A and B are shown apart, each in its own frame.
Chain A
């Protein structure tokens, strides 16, 4: 006879508690704020979905969202191909492998705010090496504190410098796991280097590339520290990405309700786009 009891719950309980405290409870707090208005002293007024509507309709949010998508799009379109190219040109064996790997891992080991500060000093006109070189040696006007275009170029280049290594390392892991037999088969067929890439290397890297794209999307879409330290969202609002704007609303203006609503919208967009990426990229395997 089959024994039935409720013992299984005891095994699930620890996980349930952990998830509750690190995800559900914080999120519910945010949900709680997002539908109410407060003037301090723990006095709350029911607000319904007003904040959501207000945020979604506001020009300020739409502009920040636009900048956010542009930023993420640009860094993905640069970092993914660049990462693959670097991984392809790295040695597969020999004494240079560890050297390359360490060099690649180095930028990722630097704390985010240090990266921001480094690039800030590096690019300042007169003081910074790059700033001085551009303005006074090459004679190209370059000042990311004044010129929005220069500010954008700087945050993009900074992110590419900081995170392309992740794509490189993941792609490299995918590449070295391809057995020699595949390359031999291609050699016997007389396949061109492009065909080797298209039909052997790319398919074999697909899984790690999916992970790389997802990670880079999520990280870049939620980026805060580096551009905040580098440009503070300026000049003007030109590099105010979603997270920077969110912090301005929540901590600068202390509008907890709108900030909470914005957080949830932000979260939903990240989730939705990640899901879209994942579904599209793994579509073939599910067949």
Chain B
């Protein structure tokens, strides 16, 4: 099964929410929509689900143009960030509700609901009401409804955002196997790069109502083809600074310079934007070719086994992320080392060049 967007546009009262977007989403793997809040993930999902009308363009499902089809007829499921269940109904009735509307036989409903409840470990709670369940169970109930419905497409709109950390990890591990082999196209919207990496499959990076890059998740992470994509797909945010290249020497505005190697060495002379992920900037050099940077430490954070330091590099704010605990003094200058071989080079207009 597939969902295909053909130059789909969404406008509300003259404001464009989704700029012309073309995308082919397939079954067999998760399709992650990754972007910050307000980047258009939910808008795009609503377009595909038929909850909002298209301003122009088309939506196709399985080779059929569904642009004019109502939400109900598109046969889809949607799981929200909020736990949306019918408050007056039991868990059983909640899972069964779309099947009943579709007019399915009682015995078949029973079977489907029980199967979905087993998968999501809701068996003992079938007779309870949603508000008597924990947040995780409520969301599992919403997921069970999506599974029991056996729809063509399942849209998961930040389904784990309102769960606490432990539950989020647990459910995230289960999600891919829940939908494996069911044939539905799974679209998963998230603002966390880590989730995109963990759920694998393909990722569409979104920014300001536009898909900036789409492809296999690992490939996009390794080679974001523009600066915006690199920024979206990095947490903490990717470090960027202006750089000029002359011969084989690269120089930052702050004066730090090094000899470029690899594909970057073939770039014509001129100015570029260098971007490097925070974990390639460390307080201790791991090799002789590391480039020394120096900056005033602004904020430090210790999270478990990693410590991060935000520091000033010229006019830019940079972040270093390193294993272990490091003795930073806030407000004092500190030396950091950058693994320049891991850096991305973007042209002035933001395209990846090396």
Residue in B78, B82, B101, B102 whose CB lies within 8 Å of A179: B82
A191-B87 contact in complex given A179-B82, A181-B80, A185-B78, C-beta closer than 8 Å = no
Q: A187 to B72, Cβ gap below 8 A?
A: yes
Bound state CA distance, A182 and B102, in angstroms? 19
In the complex, which residues of chain B have a beta carbon less than 8 angstroms from the beta carbon of A195? 101
Could you tell me if B86 and A188 are in contact, using CB atoms closer than 8 angstroms? no
Q: Are A189 and B84 in contact (CB under 8 A)?
A: no
Minimum CB distance partner of A185 in chain B: B84
Mark B66-104 against chain A: 1 for CB-CB distance below 8 A, else 0: 000001100011101010101111000000011001100
Residues of B within 8 A of A3 (CB): none
Residue contact A190 to B102, C-beta cutoff 8 Å: yes
Q: A181–B72 Cα gap in the complex (Å)?
A: 15
Q: Which residues of A contact B102 (CB under 8 A)?
A: 190
Known: A179-B82, A184-B78. Contact between A189 and B72, CB under 8 A? yes
As a 0/1 sequence over residues 242 to 278 of chain A, the CB contacts with chain B under 8 angstroms (1 = contact) are 0000000000000000000000000000000000000
A204: CB under 8 A from chain B? yes
Q: Is the CB–CB distance between A204 and B78 below 8 Å?
A: no
Q: Determine if B49 is an interface residue (Cβ-Cβ < 8 Å).
A: yes
Interchain CB contact under 8 A, A188 and B82:
no
Nearest B residue to A285, CB-CB? B131
| Nearest chain A CB to B151 CB, angstrom units | 9
From 188 to 210 in chain A, residues with beta carbon under 8 angstroms from any chain B beta carbon are 188-191, 195, 198-200, 202-204
Which residues of the other chain, A, contact B46 by a CB distance below 8 angstroms?
184
Contact between A187 and B84, CB atoms less than 8 A apart: no
- Check B51–A189 contact: CB distance below 8 A: no
Taking the closest CB of chain A, its distance from the CB of B153, in whole angstroms, is 11
A203 to chain B, nearest CB (A): 4
Q: Across the interface, which residues of A come within 8 angstroms of B86, CB to CB?
A: 199-200, 203
A188 touches B71 (CB 8 A): yes
Partner of A199, one of B80, B88, B98: B88
Is the CB–CB distance between B49 and A204 below 8 Å?
A: no
- B71 & A199 in contact (Cβ 8 Å cutoff): no
- Determine whether the beta carbon of B49 is less than 8 Å from that of A188: yes
List chain A residues, Cβ under 8 A from B97.
189, 191
With the chains together, A191 CA to B88 CA distance in Å? 15
Main secondary structure of the interface of A (DSSP, over half): helix
Which of B82, B87, B89 touches A181 (beta carbons < 8 Å)?
A: B82
| Neighbouring B residues of A182 by C-beta, 8 Å | 84
| Chain A residues whose CB sits within 8 angstroms of the CB of B49 once the complex forms | 184, 188
A268 CB to nearest B CB, Å: 34
Bound Cα distance A203, B130 (Å): 13
**Residues in B whose Cβ lies below 8 Å from that of A191:** 97, 101
Q: Given A181-B82, A187-B51, A203–B87 Cβ distance below 8 Å?
A: yes
The distance in angstroms between the C-alpha atoms of A94 and B20, with both chains bound, is: 28
Contact: A189 with B101, CB < 8 Å? Answer: yes
Distance A189 CA – B46 CA, assembled complex (angstroms): 15
Tell me the smallest distance from the CB of B73 to a CB of chain A, in Å: 8
Query: How many Å lie between the Cα of A200 and that of B94 in the bound state?
Result: 12
CA distance A200 to B87 in the complex (A): 7
Q: How far is the CA of A187 from the CA of B69 in the complex (A)?
A: 13
Which residue of A is nearest B73, CB measured? A190
Which chain A positions have C-beta within 8 A of B72? 187-190
Q: Which chain B residue has the least Cβ–Cβ distance from A199? A: B86
Q: Which of A90-125 contact B (CB under 8 A)?
A: none
User: Using a CB-CB cutoff of 8 Å, which residues 163-192 of chain A contact chain B?
Assistant: 179, 181-182, 184-185, 187-191
Closest A residue, CB atoms, query B99: A189
CB distance from A204 to the nearest CB of B (A): 7
- Near A by CB (< 8 A), chain B positions 262-313 give none
Contacts of A203 in B (CB 8 A): 86-88
Q: Which residues of A contact B78 (CB under 8 A)?
A: 184-185, 188
Closest-CB distance, B306 to chain A (whole angstroms): 35
In order of increasing CB-CB distance, the 8 nearest A-B pairs are: A190-B72, A189-B98, A203-B87, A181-B80, A203-B88, A199-B86, A181-B84, A185-B84
Q: Could you give 11 example pairs across A and B, Cβ below 8 Å?
A: A179-B84, A187-B51, A187-B71, A187-B72, A188-B71, A188-B78, A190-B71, A190-B72, A195-B101, A199-B89, A203-B86
Give B residues with C-beta under 8 Å from A: 46, 49, 51, 71-72, 76-78, 80, 82, 84, 86-89, 97-98, 101-102
In addition to A184-B51, A187-B51, A188-B78, 16 A-B residue pairs with Cβ atoms within 8 Å of each other are A181-B80, A184-B84, A188-B76, A188-B77, A188-B98, A189-B98, A190-B71, A190-B101, A190-B102, A191-B97, A191-B101, A199-B88, A199-B89, A203-B86, A203-B87, A204-B87
